[in-house]
Amino acid sequence: MNWRLFEEKLSKRMEADHIPGAAIAVSKNGEVIYQKGFGVKDLESMELVTPKTIFGIASVTKSFTALAIMKLEEAGKLSIDDPVIKYLPEFRISNIDSMESIKIHHLLTHTTGLAPIRRREELNKFHEHLTYLAENEHSLLGKPGEYLSYCNDTFLLLGAIIERLTGRIYRRYITEELLNPLHMNRSTFSIEEINKMDDVSSPYVYYQETEQFEKQNWPALGNYEVGGGIRSNVLDLLKYGELYVNQGLIDKDTFISKKQLEKMQTPYFQINRNSYYGYALQVTLDYHGFTLVDHGGGQPGVSSNFGFIPEQKLVVAVLTNASDVPAKDIWLEVVNTALGLPIEGKYSHLEPTVELPDARKKQFVGTYQSEEGTSIQILLKGSVLQAKIDNQVFTLRACDKTTLVIMKTEKQIRFYFNQNEEPWAAFFGLRMLLKTSGN
């Protein structure tokens, strides 16, 4: 394991990608084999990051919610195949006639058929969110199960179901039933608790225009804490990952059945050539003969990635205190190092290059966006396709008739075409972005 090479590469990345601080930890067979902090947790105090430093974990939180649902199913309280309205009878989407068709399974896999909708972080009670969903028009992609599109506003309904079934507020249930048994003693939803703890990072956003960092307050999130509210550290996340690689055991006692954990890791919906979405976990098959199970997260001042390799009982956690950091790439470099693979190895490099005629290239041109705020503009300069994302322009190549690849990052943008061969949506960052203007 060449950790020196990894650390040299990370040091260069932190400077190039404007990352103030990062923490990395790795365990194998229950033993911590690598733990280290890099950079600073606060640019004013210049205190160094440690493996115990608390960061936001953002959407890594989602798998905790999914795990709670799996435990409730195992206890006979629900079935993932139940309609959501069985537990939330007031759940309504104005332009969906048959609400019985949306199952708990669809919430877990982001396949309800809803496109991303405008965030309402001021909503702090689930009944308020149910009203918001019922009283406003929302863009539909198709029938439940037909398309995957990340939708925090439907995922958070899992928290409402947990509250209805247990009589406990969501965050208390997760803390008492998951965080405490896992001995994740430096993990919390509470900003008040964060302010009482030592060794806590400050979140930062870096602005290219001013070349300056701006410190962020911890977001309150409201109902969105169901999908992004836990603050934790890499050592606590290793304890969490041990639950999966040990097939449901905590301290040799069965916490949850292997069967329920396997449901979470089932490849339900294909994301790209080798990767699928499970229940709040992404599954990549046959990565150099191994299975990668992971999930990332991002918020203002937070970029995270957590996951494990079941065959090796290997758990890896990466946390940073800056937005829009390629935490997944760092995570994969840690995995490669721990597995003794070339550090640059990426499954996405297996994508082919396909030459498209200019007439086909013109069809991609346009603006694609979501109500949540994500936007991509596809441009054609001469015969070269480009993507404008967050005021940055990236060169694209095609890997098939409907998919373009950002050459700098090897990230894919998959387009959906109608019967007239006109694109109506682009799938990027696990979200379906609807086309709003043409060329």
Same domain, residue pair 294 and 212? yes
DSSP state of 86: G
Cα–Cα distance, 4 to 250 (Å, whole number): 33
What is the rounded end-to-end Cα distance, in angstroms, of the chain?
50
Helix spans in 140-251 (H): 152-155, 157-166, 170-174, 191-196, 225-228, 234-245
Domain of 140: which CATH number?
3.40.710.10
- CA quadruple 390, 391, 395, 397: dihedral, nearest 10: 40
Task: Tell me, yes or no, whether 49 and 110 share the same domain.
Answer: yes
Q: What is the pLDDT of residue 274?
A: 87
Q: Which residues pair with 415 in a beta bridge?
A: 426
pLDDT of residue 352: 86
Cβ contacts of 140 within 8 Å, gap of 6 or more? 93, 95, 96, 113, 114, 115
350, 384, 402 - which closes a domain: 350
Residues 405 and 315 in one domain: no
pLDDT for the residue 349:
53
Q: What is the model's pLDDT at position 347?
A: 56
Q: What is the pLDDT of residues 364-407, one digit of tens each?
A: 999 999 998 889 999 999 999 999 998 889 999 999 999 999 99
335 and 417 co-located in one domain: no
Going 241 to 245 to 247 to 249, the CA torsion angle's sign is: negative
What residue numbers bound the domain in which 23 lies? 1-350
Q: How far apart are CA 30 and CA 134, in angstroms?
A: 46
Q: Name the domain count of the chain.
A: 2
Examine the fold and report which residue of 316, 350, 384 is the final residue of a domain before the chain moves on: 350
Q: Say whether both 22 and 77 belong to one domain.
A: yes
3-state secondary structure at position 438: coil
Task: Please write the tens of the pLDDT for every residue from 10-53.
Answer: 999 999 999 999 999 999 999 999 999 999 999 999 999 999 99
> Rounded to an integer, what is the distance from CA 236 to the centroid of its chain?
18
Pair 322, 380 in one domain? no
Do 358 and 382 contact (CB within 8 A), yes or no?
A: no
Which CATH number goes with the domain that contains 405?
2.40.128.50
Strand partners, 204: 215, 322
Q: How far is CA 374 from CA 39, 209, 436, in A?
A: 29, 19, 12
Contacts of 438 (CB under 8 A, 6+ apart): 365, 366
In this prediction, the residues of the chain whose per-residue pLDDT falls under 70 are 346-350, 438-439
220/161 same-domain check: yes
* Separation in Å, CA 54 to CA 57, 76, 181, 321: 9, 35, 19, 9
Do 363 and 339 reside in the same domain of the chain? Answer: no
Identify the residue whose tokens are 């947990």.
162
The total of other beta-carbon atoms located within 10 Å of residue 263's CB is 20
CB 230 within 8 A of CB 188: yes
- 87 and 136 in a common domain: yes
Q: Which two tokens stand for residue 386?
A: 């480009």
Q: Is there a single domain that holds both residue 5 and residue 83? A: yes
Domain boundary pick from 294, 317, 350: 350
